Amino acid sequence: LGEGFWSLTRYEDVAAAAARPQIFSNTGRPRFGDKSAPPIEVDRPEHTVFRRMLQPYFRPDKVSNLESAAKRLANELAGPLVKAGRADLSKSFTYPYPARVLCEFLGLPPDDADALKGWADEIFDAMPERENDPARVDRAEASLTKYARDLVADRRARGLDADQDLITGLVTHNFEGHMLDPEEVLSIVRLLLSAGHNSTTSSLGIVLLHIAREPAIQTRLRADQSLIPKAIEEFLRHESPVMATKRTALSDVEIGGRQIHAGEQVFLVWSSANRDVEHYPNPEEVILEREARDHLVFGRGVHRCLGSPIALMELRVAVETFFELTTWFELDGPVERASWERYGVTRLPMRMHARELVNQREGI
Ligand code: HEM
Section 70-89 average pLDDT = 98
Q: How close is the Cα of 86 to the center of ligand 1, in Å?
A: 32
Q: Indicate if ligand 1 lies below 6 Å from the C-beta of 313.
A: no
Q: How close is the Cα of 135 to the center of ligand 1, in Å?
A: 27
Q: How close is the Cα of 297 to the center of ligand 1, in Å?
A: 9
Residue 292 neighbours by CB distance under 10 Å: 18
pLDDT band at 56 (very low <50, low <70, confident <90, very high): very high
Q: Indicate if ligand 1 lies below 6 Å from the C-beta of 235.
A: no
Q: Do β-strands 258-260 and 345-347 pair in parallel, antiparallel, or remain unpaired?
A: unpaired
The predicted structure's pLDDT at residue 270:
97
Q: Indicate if ligand 1 lies below 6 Å from the C-beta of 187.
A: no
pLDDT for residue 162 is more than 70? yes
Section 219-238 average pLDDT = 98
Digit-coded pLDDT (tens) for 240-289: 999 999 999 999 999 999 999 999 999 999 999 999 999 999 999 999 99
Q: Indicate if ligand 1 lies below 6 Å from the C-beta of 50.
A: no
Digit-coded pLDDT (tens) for 89-106: 999 999 999 999 999 999
Q: Is 67 exposed, middle or buried (0-12, 13-18, 19+ CB in 10 A)?
A: middle
pLDDT band at 185 (very low <50, low <70, confident <90, very high): confident
Query: What's the gap between Cα 76 and its chain centre?
Result: 21
pLDDT for residue 44 is more than 60? yes
Q: Indicate if ligand 1 lies below 6 Å from the C-beta of 200.
A: yes
Q: Indicate if ligand 1 lies below 6 Å from the C-beta of 201.
A: no
- CA–CA distance, 341 with 255 (Å, rounded to integer): 23
Q: Indicate if ligand 1 lies below 6 Å from the C-beta of 311.
A: yes
pLDDT band at 359 (very low <50, low <70, confident <90, very high): low
Ligand 1 atom 16, closest CA: 245
The per-residue pLDDT of the chain, averaged, comes to 91
Section 49-78 average pLDDT = 95
Residues 271 and 243 sit within 8 Å (Cβ to Cβ) = yes
Direct distance between the N- and C-terminal alpha carbons of the chain, in angstroms, rounded to an integer: 60
Crossing angle for the helix pair 96-106 and 182-213, to the nearest 10 degrees: 140
Exposure string of 168-188, with b = 16+ CB inside 10 Å and e = fewer, is: bbbbeeeeeeeebeeebbbbb
Q: Indicate if ligand 1 lies below 6 Å from the C-beta of 307.
A: yes
Pocket test for ligand 1, best of 95, 199, 319 (most atoms within 8 A of CB): 199
Lowest-confidence region among 29-38, 65-74, 92-101, 114-123: 29-38
Q: Indicate if ligand 1 lies below 6 Å from the C-beta of 274.
A: no
Q: How close is the Cα of 342 to the center of ligand 1, in Å?
A: 13
Residue 279 neighbours by CB distance under 10 Å: 18
Q: Indicate if ligand 1 lies below 6 Å from the C-beta of 207.
A: no
Phi, psi (deg, nearest 5) at residue 317: -60, -40
Q: Nearest-CA neighbor of 268 among 13, 39, 3, 22? A: 13
Q: Indicate if ligand 1 lies below 6 Å from the C-beta of 193.
A: no
